[in-house]
Structure 1
Amino acid sequence: MVLCVLEWRNVPVPDSVRERVMDCSDLDQLDVWGRRAVHATDAAELFTEE
């Protein structure tokens, strides 16, 4: 869902971001990234403040 939100918002998703999200199995972390994806203008913003 994180990647879908970025794509729906027309935010380019580099392979490195796609791989990191796809490799994550921590549901709490995915929830954080999903919330950030709603406001991100750059896919790398998912990983700030970690």
Structure 2
Amino acid sequence: MVLSILEWRRIPVTDAARERVESCTDLDQLEVWAQRAVNATDAVELFGTE
């Protein structure tokens, strides 16, 4: 869902960001990233200062 939101918003996703999202198995973390994806202007913003 995270990647879909970015795609719908036409925000480019680097290979590194895509790999990080696809390899994440923590549902709480994925939810945080999905919430951030709604307002992000760049895919890197998903990860904040983590």
Q: Same fold (TM over 0.5)?
A: yes
Percent of paired sites with the same residue = 66
Counting matched residue pairs gives: 50
Across the aligned residues of Structure 1 and Structure 2, the Cα RMSD in angstroms comes to 0.6
Structure 2 residues not aligned, in runs of 5+? none
Structure with the bigger percentage of helix:
2
Q: TM-score, normalised by structure 1?
A: 0.96
Structure 1 residues not aligned, in runs of 5+? none
Q: TM-score, normalised by structure 2?
A: 0.96
Q: Which runs of 4+ in 1 moved over 6 A?
A: none
